[in-house]
Structure formats: C-alpha cells, structure tokens
Amino acid sequence: MNLPPGAINALWESFNDVADGFGISLCEMQLICQELTTELEISRSALNKHVQTLFNQIDSDENALVDGIEFLSTLAMASGMSFRDKLEFAFTCFDFDGAGLGVHVPHDRSAGPRRGGRGRARSPAEGKGER
C-alpha cells in the first residue's frame, strides 16, 4: 500500500477521534480506515472486508484488539512518505509526553502514556520541524 502522506495524517486524525485508548477493536479500525475510501477508490463494504483481513493478521494474540499506534506506524512505513517523514511520523506517534523527537523516560512508569480523553494528541504533521 503506497499511501500518500496526507492519507496517513488523515488516518492519524481519525484514530484520535475514534479511539479511546491504544487498543482498537475491529469496528474502530474500520471507522478509522474509512478515511481511505476515496484515496483507494473502493467501496466502504469492500474496504471493511480488507480491514477485517488485516485486523485478523495483526491480532496475533486473538484478544480482539490491535495496538492502534503500531498499526498506524506500520501503515506509514509502507506508505509513499519519504524515509525522513516516515521516521518523524513514527516518532511523533510514540511521543506520549509531547517533548518532541527526543527520548523521555518518565519517572513514574505507572502513569503510562497519555491518550484518549486527556487532550487531543498532536498530528505527526504538527510535530514537523520541532526538534
């Protein structure tokens, strides 16, 4: 799948609108991927079938959840983005504290990453140019 950067960023925005946390269900993944119907020139029902196949492949522990950020990062790696843009997208997806591309290890590991309901996560496109 050679998705353009705009499609990947649309998926990121959709993920932040749909998902309540990191784990996403099949239904949530299908809602997130609806952004691709125009880009892929495919019907919603056909896309849902493809998403279900992909979901079943990714859900290796068969718990009916897939890590949404890993899913989006994987799509970005298979996209038409430049290598640099792919790296920036992936780093931004995992930038839970908003500190930029640097690595930050929180003192309180029990707090975990902050997502869903605690403020809107930045789009990877919004993180561009920050160092």
Q: pLDDT for 67-111, tens place per residue? A: 888 888 888 888 888 888 888 888 888 777 777 755 444 444 444
Determine the topology of domain 5-111 in CATH.
Recoverin; domain 1 (1.10.238)
User: b or e along 8-46 (b: 16 or more beta carbons within 10 Å of the residue's beta carbon)?
Assistant: bbbbbbbbbebbeebebbbebbbbbbbbbeeeeeeeeee
- How far apart CA 89 and CA 80 sit, in angstroms, is 12
Closest CA to 16 of 113, 124, 116: 116
Please indicate whether residue 58 or residue 99 has the higher confidence score (pLDDT): 58
pLDDT at 113 over 90: no
The per-residue pLDDT for 49 is 97
pLDDT category of residue 36 using cuts at 50, 70 and 90: very high
The per-residue pLDDT for 102 is 57
pLDDT at 25 over 90: yes
Structure-token match 């890993």, residue found = 70
Closest CA to 116 of 31, 24, 34, 52: 24
pLDDT at 123 over 90: no
Specify whether the CB–CB gap between 1 and 75 falls below 8 A: yes
The backbone torsions φ and ψ at residue 67, rounded to the nearest 5 degrees and listed phi first, read -70, 115
pLDDT category of residue 65 using cuts at 50, 70 and 90: very high
Interacting residues of 82 by C-beta distance below 8 A, sequence separation 6+: none
The per-residue pLDDT for 2 is 80
* Domain ranges across the chain: 5-111
The per-residue pLDDT for 31 is 96
- The residue length of the chain stands at 131
